[in-house]
Structure 1
Amino acid sequence: MFLVLFAVTLGLRIVIACTLSPFGDEAFYWQESLAPAWGYSDLPPLTAWLIGASEAVFGHGLLPMRLPFLLIGAAIPFQVRAIARRHAGDAAGWQAGTLALCLPLAGSLGVLAVPDVPLTFAVLLAMQGLLGALDDGRRRDWCLLGVGLALAWATHYRAAMPMLGGLVFLLATPRGRAQWRKPGLWLAMGIAAVGLLPIAIYNLQAQGAGVSFQLVERNPWRFHADALVQPLEQAATCTPVAYVALLWMAWSAWRRRGEAPFDAIGSVAGTFIVAYFVLGLFADDVRFRVHWPLPGYLLLCAAWPSLPSSSTWRRIVHAGFALALAGLFGGFAWLGLAASGDGARVLANLKAFPSHFTGWRESAAVLQGELLHDSGALVVADNFMLAAELRFALGGPRTVYSLDSPLNVKHGRAPQLAAWRIDEAGLAMHAGQRVILAVDETSLRERETRGWLGSICARVDIVGPLSRLDLFDGRRRIAFYDARARATPAPAQNPDDCVVWMAAYLAAPH
């Protein structure tokens, strides 16, 4: 059952990865891969390094960009199997791997080139090392723990969460407290610290831009009651019955924290679930976050075959994960439809419009047509996502500038654009040169749109409109303008006097 399910899901992932347009963040990670560095304003370097290495070997395209993530995502169910097999035997390993494949987020890992794929792999790798070291005390297992944590730090600042989970284990369980005197633990921590070097080097070079974004700019650090819906978000992500089953597994493992391997798994998995919930009450409530506890859920899948349970709970687990499997295939269907224009139109009619995956191909085609008439014109987009998507479509060598959109700040990309000199300050160095300006009129919330679009006329000199894309009954609207680069912004004006805002207003569905 595991092997059949693995083959089917992997095949679907490959097909979707070859056809689905890049997500905006994906395109930006790809753009980062063009400039190898110790880090970037949004992330440590591993995601960009993986993309760059793959494209260096296989060339530019959707599949080369996503291939490392497909391979890493394919390995994760086998990691879950290996953890379960260590303590409960071969059959339990296959059962745990099958449960992991059923979870929608886990079964689809690798479709997108995002840092959560290597981060999840790294957390499970560290857990494999920890459990092996606790059982056998071998140096190689302690080294594996350190390597996993180092990879996690090189992938994302959220590597702090498995570190916190490990600390809970070391403080709250008898076996954990015994490890403080083991030299292997300190060997592992020394290896893990190597993964912090890229973060340290980048932030020293960039005046702390990465740490500032992750710890200060993106988080309000005050209680917001709307975050109390997090359990409902998690239930929708895992599917409700599977989420209840996972919470029961977490509680059962924690109750048995005096036994191996439940002490380590219960501590780490429970920390992922509880700490992210508590953190979410005070931290970022704007960006997508439902994927954060995934490594904890996968560890619970590994523990499940070993957990004593009643026949009632076993039926609940089986039913929950069967429904989760249906949710996984529903997710594949949504992504498959999003990969085509006709499918996206179907989703739009069903109120499930995939806005982040649509409009990029059409806008790139318009841009390429304009560049045929003037290949020397500068290409400028009104935000970093559209700029990265257009650069991905053009293949990389051509620079695509971004205006200083609020989106750039919101997603922590403004310092990186400034470092590459492809923001407004970089554009000002080409004052007077012709610009082909692409404007995504649907990128911001409605209350922000007028102020932003109305300010564009002060940022570049608009000569006149070139063309317009109104897609899916106006759900995606991208306009192109003939313009000139300015040396300095003009004085602020009434947004209603700006042709960019008025054209967007007239084109919007009313």
Structure 2
Amino acid sequence: MRTGSMRVKFIALWCVLLLAKLLLAATLQPFGDEAFYAWEARHPAWVYSDLPGLTAWMAWLGAQLGGGGVFALRLPFILLGSLLPWLVVRITRRWFGSEAGWQAGMLALLMPLGGMMGLLALPDVPMLFAALLCLDAIGMLMRRLTPLGLLQLALALAIGALAHYRFALVVLAGAAGLACAPAGRALLRQPMVWAALAVGALAWVPVLAWNLAHAGAGLGFQFVDRHPWQPQWRGLWWPLVQVLLLTPPLMWLLGQALVESWRRRRQAEPAWPLMAGLGAVAVPGFFLFGFFTDAERITFHWPLAGWLALCCVAPPVLARWRPGARRLLHAAAALGLALLMGYLALLAAPQGRAWLAGGPAYADNFSGWNEIAGAVREDLQAMPPDTVLVADNFMLAAQLRLALQRDDIRVLPHPINEKHGRAVQLADWGQVDEGAADWRGRSVLVVVEDTARPLRQRLAGYRELCQRTGGLPAPQVLNVDQGRKRFLRFALLPAADGDEGPDDCVLPALAWLEAPVRGGRLSPGDPVRGWALKPGSGVARIEVLLDGQVVARVEPALARPDVANYWSLDAGDGDRFGFVLDMPAVPGRPAGRAWLGLRLHGRDGGSETWPAQPVDWRPSGQAETGPAQGR
């Protein structure tokens, strides 16, 4: 393929992806971490509990350029992320010529994660930029030692240090690459190179100073607390996940490029030994690392710097492939990229999120934030102007701050504040709220992200919340996407000084549908069975809903000692939590996927709609005139 043709295709695809990212950035609800970085941007600092300061500074820049919305937040990251393929082109052109450069840039664009990088306001964007800028500087310096190359290396190292703690692993990979290349080892004998490295290392000083002042909280979270540091078999999923994210042909090519780099490590071209060492640490190294590190949070993007670097040595390998194989690679990668864009477009649309709610592809971190912000805005309009707004966790507080543009939102202690390394930062800002003792007789709106806790932990969370507040009214429930994202709002009257609250708390209700199973078949006459409880008052009656329509009513009248034992309920709470009824016919409801849910009416007068679950509805044709009654 002619160089000019590949250049035109690269530029055309780059423009299409830039436009797509701009459109998605304006419609996709903010990721939880993005909202917190926007919050950090309101508190300028060199270092925060979770990250060095660069991500927050970029978020601040976005706010200055375009206001406080999510699109403005993401704009600097989109622009910086769009430079990554151009850096791949620049690096490859120096090593293998112009045609190879455009081919490598096309591979970086077609790589699904690479092509869409920058869409979200995340620290990976400046970190990847710094990594490729370092690689470009090293490639320049291995050919000729110049002040410009030294300055670029120092700047890139500083950017990376201010972007993420994980950049230390990028530095390790670069050191391995330099050690493998004779030209790299020669560079390390140059005093000016060490001077550039020293300048770049200075960017770590604020990070170390912050950790010394906070008992190593940031380093502890990133390298100790979040990792089990014990072998775990879940690391075996890593190659499969990478295959799905890169597409099989592209991963095969980049794997071949790494092997080729090792085979040619003794050749005159310094790119090969450099990439042999760098790629071995940045890709297989992360695979081994994955057996001992965080398996609960998202880590699939960690080796992206290594994959992008391998794109730079992939064109000579790709040139040996048959034309049909090359076309297959580009087609498969383009399909993977299109599927990722389509998935993000689904997440950006309310109808798309509602459709995804029935399966495992639902992304709750992109869902529900606009809806809860709108509900809270209406609640506050009906309450006194000095109402205290309290969120039960950092992520919800950050989302409300971003949507409502108010910085006085307080945060209750919550397990995920610690889990995500934000508890220390909230304490530094003075945003942690201990409950009624901090409210000084003011009205309070407490907002709880119910689905932030696993079901097994919710009752303990409700009890803790009741102790902190001194008593809970019946919650206002907001179920988003059939309850896949669920929020509770409690409007609290001013608490009297010294009032520690009642001895007994009326807690929110809990329920579970045991039959039919999620996604199972449901027809008229089939049993609908489960349990429901509401400690402190009890459940008076249950309405069974199909697609939001009441189709049956039942009382929890069956003894369920197993439920009482599981939830450690006192004898005073009773043990009649179970219910069962025969599913009635629903005239006019066609066959297909439907949502089966419950509405729980407590003896305290409150009503709470429980999350619905998808079922395969198969009507029998029987007709009934009204809602059925339970057995």
Q: TM-score, normalised by structure 2?
A: 0.76
Alignment-derived partner of residue 272 in structure 1: 282
Query: How big is the shift at 1:418?
Result: 1.0
**Structure with higher helix content:** 1
Query: How big is the shift at 1:8?
Result: 0.8
CA 1:281–1:89 in structure 2 vs 1: closer, same or farther (change >3 Å)? same
The aligned runs of 1:70-469 (5 Å cut-off) are 70-259=78-267, 260-307=270-317, 310-312=320-322, 316=325, 318-349=327-358, 351-374=360-383, 375-395=385-405, 397-425=406-434, 428-465=437-474, 467-469=476-478
Q: Distance in 2 between matches of 1:411 and 1:275?
A: 24
Matched letter for residue 295 of structure 2: D
Does the CA-based 8 Å contact 2:318-2:326 persist in structure 1?
Answer: no
Query: How big is the shift at 1:274?
Result: 1.8
Alpha-carbon deviations, 1:248-305, whole Å to 9, x = none?
A: 2111112212232112223212211022112211111111001011111111111112
Q: Distance in 2 between matches of 1:72 and 1:378?
A: 38
Q: Distance in 2 between matches of 1:485 and 1:26?
A: 33
Q: Distance in 2 between matches of 1:384 and 1:44?
A: 18
In structure 1, the residue corresponding to 2:82 is in which secondary structure? Answer: helix
In structure 2, the residue corresponding to 1:196 is in which secondary structure? Answer: helix
Q: Distance in 1 between matches of 2:361 and 2:42?
A: 33
Q: Quick check: 1:473 aligned with 2:576? A: no
Alpha-carbon deviations, 1:100-146, whole Å to 9, x = none?
A: 00011111111110001111001000110000000112132122112
Does the CA-based 8 Å contact 1:14-1:111 persist in structure 2?
Answer: yes
Matched letter for residue 507 of structure 1: W
Matched letter for residue 161 of structure 1: L
Q: Distance in 2 between matches of 1:194 and 1:426?
A: 42
CA 1:44–1:168 in structure 2 vs 1: closer, same or farther (change >3 Å)? same
Matched letter for residue 359 of structure 1: G
Does the CA-based 8 Å contact 1:24-1:356 persist in structure 2?
Answer: yes
Does the CA-based 8 Å contact 1:461-1:483 persist in structure 2?
Answer: no
Q: Distance in 1 between matches of 2:187 and 2:293?
A: 32
Deviating more after overlay: 485-494 vs 450-459: 485-494
CA 1:99–1:414 in structure 2 vs 1: closer, same or farther (change >3 Å)? same
Does the CA-based 8 Å contact 1:453-1:500 persist in structure 2?
Answer: no
Does the CA-based 8 Å contact 1:403-1:424 persist in structure 2?
Answer: yes
Alpha-carbon deviations, 1:5-52, whole Å to 9, x = none?
A: 111111100000011110111000110000001111110100001111
Query: For structure 2, which runs of at least 5 residues remain unmatched after alignment?
Result: 1-8, 511-533, 535-599, 601-606, 614-631
Does the CA-based 8 Å contact 1:454-1:497 persist in structure 2?
Answer: no
CA 1:180–1:381 in structure 2 vs 1: closer, same or farther (change >3 Å)? same
Query: How big is the shift at 1:324?
Result: 2.0
Q: Distance in 2 between matches of 1:161 and 1:202?
A: 20
Percent identity, aligned pairs only, is 35
**Larger RCO: Structure 1 or Structure 2 (Cα < 8 Å, ≥ 6 residues apart)?**
1
Q: Distance in 1 between matches of 2:482 and 2:199?
A: 54
Alignment-derived partner of residue 16 in structure 2: 8
Does the CA-based 8 Å contact 2:397-2:411 persist in structure 1?
Answer: yes
Query: For structure 1, which runs of at least 5 residues remain unmatched after alignment?
Result: none
Alignment-derived partner of residue 591 in structure 2: none
Matched letter for residue 42 of structure 2: L
In structure 1, the residue corresponding to 2:451 is in which secondary structure? Answer: coil
Alpha-carbon deviations, 1:327-371, whole Å to 9, x = none?
A: 111111111121121121122246422211111111111111111
Q: Distance in 2 between matches of 1:320 and 1:459?
A: 58
Query: How big is the shift at 1:309?
Result: 5.7
Q: TM-score, normalised by structure 1?
A: 0.93
Query: How big is the shift at 1:500?
Result: 6.5
Count residues with an aligned counterpart.
507
Alpha-carbon deviations, 1:294-329, whole Å to 9, x = none?
A: 1111111111123476335x7545423421221111
CA 1:36–1:317 in structure 2 vs 1: closer, same or farther (change >3 Å)? farther
In structure 1, the residue corresponding to 2:166 is in which secondary structure? Answer: helix
Alpha-carbon deviations, 1:71-114, whole Å to 9, x = none?
A: 00111110000001112222211111111000111111111100
Alpha-carbon deviations, 1:50-78, whole Å to 9, x = none?
A: 11122123221122101110100111110
Does the CA-based 8 Å contact 1:143-1:187 persist in structure 2?
Answer: no
In structure 2, the residue corresponding to 1:105 is in which secondary structure? Answer: helix
CA 1:444–1:236 in structure 2 vs 1: closer, same or farther (change >3 Å)? farther
Does the CA-based 8 Å contact 1:456-1:498 persist in structure 2?
Answer: no
CA 1:240–1:455 in structure 2 vs 1: closer, same or farther (change >3 Å)? farther
Alignment-derived partner of residue 51 in structure 1: 59
Q: Distance in 1 between matches of 2:91 and 2:471?
A: 60
Does the CA-based 8 Å contact 2:436-2:470 persist in structure 1?
Answer: no
**Structure with higher strand content:** 2
In structure 1, the residue corresponding to 2:294 is in which secondary structure? Answer: coil
Q: Quick check: 1:507 aligned with 2:516? A: no
